[in-house]
Structure 1
């Protein structure tokens, strides 16, 4: 009898839920593809992470391959270039974060202060357009423009009596070129988020500040920046959580035999070990090590941000 009562109570709720799904099937159908994408390409591959702890053999399969514990991780820690790879990855990531992260904020704030709409739209379009250039094309442009024999930059250097510079071959130029090209390509797209946050600030605050005689810089410092602070904090946490995942494609395309001492980072090393040398277990261990570091950084920075500003991801 109690079971029957529970069934009677549960049936209307279930019926109402099914009716709601039927009435809003377009929304459920719309979200089906993102859910399927993350399930297939993000969560299902986690099943294969276990090969990091195995001596994986394609003939034996994931389950059939023998367990070797943390041997792959120990091998990476003992490798002769471990320190160099970690140093290159961390250094490039920190430089990229320190330079490329604040630039879109500054661009968005100053664009928000422009009152000439045509000029504002022109600047937005100009800085937004490079985002649609593929990384392969971008690096190809860099090789063409920076060529020591026919590149436009070296032609200008010769014009002023200087000697041509092998930009894409010298180790000292790898990081500046990587970061400057990132700023040029991604600033416009990244600034859109901050511009959207700035539009949510109550315009009456600016009107009151103008009446009180506040300058533009004072309004930026006391109204705009505090208004977008939660957005900045969230994006900063996400950036730090992805700190060790430096863009593989650009680093790999810019890498040459002459600058490999500074351009060899964890993603490029994983590619060479896993794809070119087919050492799947070893490369999986390196990738898992990298992911764990990112997770620890994400949790730490999120906790620190919540304590300092009260804003965080969770």
Structure 2
């Protein structure tokens, strides 16, 4: 009897599991049929990432080949880590690494905190019309191309008729060659990034601040907390997780200093501090046709970014944050 009961019980469980799976599959089908328009809207974005992000990943294989365009992937000879050995043994490697690393550190220290500070300042503005005007003004530079940004910088800082140098001359000071000076290059690049993208970076933080419960501020006021106390104990903790996640994602692009901006600002006088991995890949890959070697350089950058993301994510979780995965 016990065996029969056990068998019958197992059969009952199998039947119940089959019914539940059918119900789940039916509910999923009804959900998809009901919300198919949303998934149709999602298709262009998914197709974009598949075609332009995931499919090109196969191109990293040529970093392990002596790639010849006419022979293709299948006909080119495999050379293993030859191009990586060459890259790490190049005299220019440490120069490229130093220039790229310093520009990345400049952006991380001086640019990354500014959208947070700007979002906190905008959040304190109570006159909505004035707030929207300021937001529009600081957002506009993001939509200006780097060619235009560099052109504007040229008009302001050139020694021949530039507004800044003309003002220096008018007050009796010597003109400064901002555009040709290697000492000013990193400051110049960081300043352009700050002017162009600081306003746009505030959008995410303002969205996070919009989710803060106003009752928390009311309770803090009743407890006698001033604006600074409210900022420290309510506002900043509300955006802390957002700051951590964006910092982790930022580290994934730590060595991506931006090819177009650097290339447009680089000249013969500042090349020693301006040559970075992105411009080096362009010069050896596009101009010299060394596709495998330049791909190896790009893969090195990607691996460094991956390592930084994984390390930063683990560190964030150790301190109690969610991280990105």
Pick the TM interval, shorter chain: over 0.9
1:64-213 aligned at under 5 Å gives the runs 64-213=75-224
Q: Please state if 1:307 is matched with 2:323.
A: no
Alpha-carbon distance in 1 for matches of 2:25, 2:181: 67
Q: CA deviation at 1:14?
A: 5.7
SS of equivalent residue, structure 2 residue 184 = helix
Aligned partner (choices 220, 227, 244) of residue 233 of structure 1 = 244
Q: CA deviation at 1:267?
A: 0.8
Q: Deviations over 1:80-130 (max 9, x none)?
A: 111000001111101101110001111111111122223222221221111
Q: CA deviation at 1:248?
A: 1.3
Q: 1:29 maps to what in 2?
A: 40
Alpha-carbon distance in 2 for matches of 1:55, 1:135: 34
Alpha-carbon distance in 2 for matches of 1:9, 1:87: 60
Q: Deviations over 1:136-157 (max 9, x none)?
A: 1101111121110111111111
Please identify the structure whose Cα radius of gyration is greater. Answer: 2
Please tell me whether the aligned partners of residues 169 and 258 of structure 1 are also in contact (alpha carbons under 8 angstroms). yes
Alpha-carbon distance in 1 for matches of 2:219, 2:32: 48
Alpha-carbon distance in 1 for matches of 2:140, 2:20: 58
Q: CA deviation at 1:243?
A: 0.5
Q: CA deviation at 1:19?
A: 4.8
Q: Mean alpha-carbon deviation: is it higher for 9-18 or for 109-118?
A: 9-18
Please tell me whether the aligned partners of residues 149 and 164 of structure 1 are also in contact (alpha carbons under 8 angstroms). no
Please tell me whether the aligned partners of residues 240 and 298 of structure 1 are also in contact (alpha carbons under 8 angstroms). yes
Distance 1:116-1:77 versus aligned 2 partners, 3 A rule: same
Aligned partner (choices 291, 313, 322) of residue 280 of structure 1 = 291
Q: Mean alpha-carbon deviation: is it higher for 218-227 or for 23-32?
A: 23-32
Q: Deviations over 1:256-295 (max 9, x none)?
A: 1111111111111111111111100000000001100000
Alpha-carbon distance in 2 for matches of 1:23, 1:135: 44
TM-score, structure 2 as length reference: 0.91
Q: 1:3 maps to what in 2?
A: none
TM-score, structure 1 as length reference: 0.94
Alpha-carbon distance in 2 for matches of 1:310, 1:14: 35
Q: CA deviation at 1:32?
A: 0.8
Q: Deviations over 1:221-279 (max 9, x none)?
A: 11100111011110011011111111111111111111111111111111111111110
SS of equivalent residue, structure 1 residue 172 = coil
Alpha-carbon distance in 1 for matches of 2:126, 2:320: 31
Q: 1:52 maps to what in 2?
A: 63
Q: Mean alpha-carbon deviation: is it higher for 282-291 or for 57-66?
A: 57-66
SS of equivalent residue, structure 2 residue 236 = helix
Matched positions, count:
309
Q: 2:6 maps to what in 1?
A: none
Distance 1:206-1:80 versus aligned 2 partners, 3 A rule: same
SS of equivalent residue, structure 2 residue 183 = helix
Q: CA deviation at 1:312?
A: 0.5
Q: Which runs of 4+ in 1 moved over 6 A?
A: 6-13
Taking only aligned residues, the RMSD between alpha carbons, in angstroms, comes to 1.8
Q: 1:265 maps to what in 2?
A: 276
Alpha-carbon distance in 2 for matches of 1:311, 1:101: 20
Please tell me whether the aligned partners of residues 53 and 70 of structure 1 are also in contact (alpha carbons under 8 angstroms). yes
Alpha-carbon distance in 1 for matches of 2:288, 2:95: 20
